[in-house]
Amino acid sequence: TLFRSKQPTKNAVVLQPEKFLDQVELNVDNHPEIAKQIAMIHLTKEDLAIIRQLHEFVIPHLDEMTTDFYDAVELGSGLMQIIEKNSSVERLKVTLRRHIEEMFHGTVNEAYIKQRITIAHVHVRIGLGTKWYMGSFQAFVSALTDIIMNLEMKKEDHAKSIKAVTKILNLEQQLVIE
Ligand code: HEM
């Protein structure tokens, strides 16, 4: 009927962070500086719960996301050579896929921080410049924005989702660039 498009359908997603709070963890007790970094971007347990709820909608797009990522990497200078020298596109696709998936578990704890410190060290060792890391990272920001905006949601939930996801991506970059 005429007004149907305005009605929520069975595909509509309603954010319910309270339902996911018990599945998330925000524990950086051993890292006072990182606690301040988290406070600065106002990343809360509620954001992690939102991210946890969005997990199932991100999973189906992981292959596409890693492909977009490598399309971006190919546009950088010398990056494919760095990959071929230290790893392979196929291996890194698996690593990256798992990494993005884990990002949506809503768990920011000791293991999470340690893993990001490892990534930072690996990238330094292989000589990946910060500008190329930042540049290729945009592929994830763009893909995740599309995924969220394509969900049928009310405007406030779209805004909350985008903010929660960009906060976790921002923290990721803060930790890996250090
Ligand atoms: C390693 C993530 C950008 C090249 C890794 C690892 C992760 C990761 C999770 C595995 C670390 C470990 O050993 O546990 C990311 C993310 C990026 C990014 C999230 C987002 C921007 C790049 C770019 C390049 C690159 C742009 C291009 C040269 C590599 C290579 C390794 C690696 C070659 C593996 C080295 C080895 O196997 O020892 N990265 N990376 N990464 N990354 Fe990245």
| CB of 132 sitting under 6 A from ligand 1 | yes
**Number of residues written out for the chain:** 178
With beta carbons less than 8 A apart as the criterion, state whether 133 and 177 touch. Answer: yes
> Which residue has the least CA distance to atom 20 on ligand 1?
137
Burial of 54 (0-12, 13-18, 19+ CB in 10 A): buried
Burial of 30 (0-12, 13-18, 19+ CB in 10 A): exposed
- Give the span between the Cα atoms of 83 and 139, in whole angstroms: 17
Q: What is the pLDDT of residue 57?
A: 97
On whether the pTM is more than 0.90, the answer is: yes
CA of 101 to the centre of ligand 1 (A): 15
Confidence of residue 4 (pLDDT cuts 50, 70, 90): low
Average pLDDT over residues 14-35: 97
| CB of 126 sitting under 6 A from ligand 1 | yes
Q: In this model, does residue 18 exceed pLDDT 90? A: yes
